[in-house]
Amino acid sequence: MLTYSADEMMTVAAARSLRNGMTCFVGIGRPSEAANLARATHAPDLVLIYESGTIGAKPGQVPLSIGDGILAETADSVVSVPEIFNYWLQPGRIDVGFLGAAQLDKYGNINTTVIGNSYAKPSVRLPGAGGAPEIAAACREVIVVVRQSRRTFAERVDFVTSVGFGDGQGSRQRLGLTGGGPQLVITDLGLLRPDPDSGELTLAGIYPGVSVANVQEKTGWDLAVSHDLAEIPPPTEAELTALRELLLTAPGSARQTGAPAATSSR
Amino acid sequence: MAEIVTLAEAISATVHDGDTVAMEGFTHLIPHAAGHEVIRQRRRDLTLVRMTPDIIYDQLIGAGCARKLVFSWAGNPGVGSLHRFRDAVEHSWPLPLELEEHSHAGMANRFAAGAAGLPFAILRGYRGTSLAENTAGVADIVCPFTGETLTAVSALRPDVAVIHAQRADRRGNVQYWGITGVQKEALLAASRSVVTVEEIVDSLDPRPGAIVLPCWTVSYVAVVPGGAHPSYALGYSVRDNDFYLAWDEISRDRERFAGWLDEHVYETAVAVRGGGAAC
């Protein structure tokens, strides 16, 4: 019997969500881990794009930052930062944006800026936007990877750093956002997908050993359950082995001990 | 016209109290040694501009050099928080820090507008976010041709740009490669500039993907080998990821940070060479 952690299940589920040959704009932390796991397993031709301007990076290890030298050295092309955003991301060339979150609401809006009621006097100051607002706006779809808790999964985010479905379905069109928005949220308990009519995130899949009640307890809104709720298969031995080998090469130990990603640190 | 001088001379000549200073380098080629020199020269009331404040601005903020920060992502990449930045925002220590906060795409376009001599740039961005409500210099603009509503961001025109590059020649022509970030735009947008380099060579042979800044666009060049550490210069050094991890502990505590500054910045003068020719 394989034993694995909830974080490992989450990273494996996130890797599975990426199809071979896709172009993927990768955030640092767990999204980057999962994207590199996908490359090491079922998606060797996944095109990894980092906001540092490295297009088609093929790191043999998980980079600590979006600008590690190995990304530039293995990339198909390295472009400037204005160019990566203006020529590559903005026109909608990228299939999937792979993001983390410190706070996420029921319409998939992301907060990575401040926790608290006041922007000027926040209770917690987070790193801020980085590339996420435009990644969330312009990619054909967005996948969010984030651990689930009542604090993180809020009815409304304290600050909209990156827009999901705004106030609900139709908001993206009104705002002129060209990409498809958050189509999948992968947590340490299961998978959430937007309801096609309302845009509200609903429970679409759970991991082995997790109950619907478990997930609802850790959600800050009244979480609806999809009528075709799926049980997600556990990690295979090959997936777990590849993930653990990948993390052994990661700089430092923070990622290996399951510390939160930079975008969700407190 | 570029003058080749010592780092101390270059900073002294360009960075003054109250200036707006952009020290750029996107993870790669961050001009850390120049940042330390600004701290040693005890500059005050600076408006610091940088897409990713990173450790370099965590140090400048903690040292009390900054009045305001213009930025788009203030974390320790891959590690977590910038604790000196957070202490300034959450507890006004050592000083209150005014924020002007954007997205990466917005900042990159603001630099590009500055380099182009335009008052603003246009992008698809910010719409529906809380950033637009909390940041001056972001406004809707209607396309005169299609009627589509887009976003305008005001140009950045720093007093000084500071960057690190792999090398320069004896005339002060500068060459850098690898992740090239937004340095060209920052330097061309600024009134004055300082470039620290790993080495000075007789002539710059071509490199794939390299950017060359002609000497007549650069104010000062200073030779500072390893001047990007703990960031790196591709071909010369690797990113010191262990230091980025260690910084989390060093910077978490005010006293430990102050001790680190004393030992590694105030009591350290970088060995530098100057007095070279210019173009």
pLDDT of residue A93: 97
The full length of chain B comes to: 279
Residue positions of A annotated with a catalytic role: 51
- Using CA atoms, how far apart are residues B146 and B207, in angstroms rounded to an integer? 42
Q: What is the pLDDT of residues B84-96, one digit of tens each?
A: 999 999 999 999 9
> Residue A250 — very low, low, confident or very high, per pLDDT cuts 50/70/90?
confident
pLDDT of residue B15: 98
What is the interface size between A and B, counted as CB pairs within 8 Å? 195
Q: How far is CA B197 from CA A170, B46, B171, in A?
A: 51, 24, 13
pLDDT of residue B276: 60
pLDDT of residue B272: 55
* Closest alpha carbon to A191 in A141, A242, A146, A237: A146
* pLDDT higher than threshold 80 for residue A1: no
Q: How far is CA A258 from CA A15, A238, A265, in A?
A: 17, 20, 12
End-to-end CA distance of chain A: 35
Determine whether B203 is exposed, middle or buried from the number of CB atoms within 10 Å of its CB (0-12, 13-18, 19+): exposed
In percent, the amount of chain B with pLDDT more than 70 equals 96
Residues in A touching B82 (Cβ below 8 Å): 127
Q: What is the pLDDT of residues B190-222, one digit of tens each?
A: 999 999 999 999 999 999 889 999 999 999 999
* pLDDT higher than threshold 70 for residue A256: no
Residue identified by tokens 């996944």 is A46
Which range (A28-42, A224-238, B265-279) has the least confidence? B265-279
- Using CA atoms, how far apart are residues B194 and B31, in angstroms rounded to an integer? 10
A186 touches A11 (CB < 8 A): no
pLDDT of residue B271: 56
Average pLDDT of the residues in B124-150: 96
pLDDT of residue B273: 54
pLDDT of residue A146: 97
Mean pLDDT of the residues in chain B: 95
Residue identified by tokens 């790669």 is B28
* pLDDT higher than threshold 60 for residue B275: no
pLDDT of residue B148: 94
Helices B254-261/B241-252 angle, 10° precision:
120
The full length of chain A comes to: 266
* pLDDT higher than threshold 50 for residue B22: yes
Q: What is the pLDDT of residues B33-67, one digit of tens each?
A: 999 999 999 999 999 999 999 999 999 999 999 99
Q: What is the pLDDT of residues B240-267, one digit of tens each?
A: 999 999 999 999 999 999 999 999 999 9
Interface check for B121 against chain A (CB to CB < 8 A): the answer is no
pLDDT of residue A63: 87
When comparing pLDDT for A18 and A29, which is higher? A18
pLDDT of residue A65: 86
Q: What is the pLDDT of residues B54-63, one digit of tens each?
A: 999 999 999 9
Provide φ and ψ at B229, rounded to 5°: -55, 135
A42 touches A22 (CB < 8 A): no
Cβ partners under 8 Å of residue A23, min gap 6: A47, A49, A93, A94, A95, A96
- Using CA atoms, how far apart are residues A212 and A231, in angstroms rounded to an integer? 11
pLDDT of residue B269: 72
> Residue A18 — very low, low, confident or very high, per pLDDT cuts 50/70/90?
very high
Q: For B77, which of A65, A73, A129 is closest by C-beta distance?
A: A65
* pLDDT higher than threshold 90 for residue B1: no
Within 161-190 of A, beta carbons closer than 8 Å to B belong to 161-163, 166, 171, 175-178
pLDDT of residue A167: 97
Helices B54-62/B254-261 angle, 10° precision:
100
Q: What is the pLDDT of residues A60-86, one digit of tens each?
A: 888 888 888 899 999 999 999 999 999
Q: For A52, which of B89, B125, B179 is closest by C-beta distance?
A: B179
> Residue A3 — very low, low, confident or very high, per pLDDT cuts 50/70/90?
very high
pLDDT of residue B54: 97
Cβ partners under 8 Å of residue A120, min gap 6: none
| Residue A208: cis peptide before it, omega within 30 degrees of 0 | no
> Residue A258 — very low, low, confident or very high, per pLDDT cuts 50/70/90?
very low
Q: Where do the domains of chain B lie, and which CATH numbers do they carry?
A: 3-101+158-266 (3.40.1080.10), 104-154 (no CATH)
Strand order of the β-sheet with A77-78 is A77-78, A54-57, A47-50, A23-26, A96-99, A141-145, A182-186, A190-194, A201-206, A225-231
* pLDDT higher than threshold 50 for residue A261: no
Residues in A touching B134 (Cβ below 8 Å): 119
> Residue B270 — very low, low, confident or very high, per pLDDT cuts 50/70/90?
low
* Residue type at position A35: A
E strands along chain B, which residues?
3-4, 20-23, 46-49, 66-71, 75-76, 80-81, 98-101, 120-123, 138-142, 149-154, 160-169, 174-176, 192-201, 211-213, 220-223
Q: Which two tokens stand for residue B152?
A: 């305008």
Interface check for A122 against chain B (CB to CB < 8 A): the answer is yes
* pLDDT higher than threshold 90 for residue B76: yes
Q: Which residues on neighbouring strands pair with residue B273, listed in sequence order? A: B223
Determine whether the interchain pair A113/B103 forms a contact, defined as Cβ–Cβ distance below 8 Å.
Answer: no
Q: What is the pLDDT of residues A167-178, one digit of tens each?
A: 999 999 999 999
How close A122 gets to chain B, by Cα (Å)? 7
Within 99-118 of B, beta carbons closer than 8 Å to A belong to 101-105, 108-109, 111-112
B277 touches B4 (CB < 8 A): yes
B126 touches B106 (CB < 8 A): yes
Q: 0.90 exceeded by the pTM? A: yes
Q: What is the pLDDT of residues A195-216, one digit of tens each?
A: 999 999 999 999 999 999 999 9
Judge if ipTM > 0.90.
yes
Mean pLDDT of the residues in chain A: 92
Average pLDDT of the residues in A114-132: 94
pLDDT of residue A74: 94
When comparing pLDDT for B156 and B268, which is higher? B156
Q: For A177, which of B74, B127, B185 is closest by C-beta distance?
A: B127
Q: Where do the domains of chain A lie, and which CATH numbers do they carry?
A: 6-260 (3.40.1080.10)
pLDDT of residue B37: 98
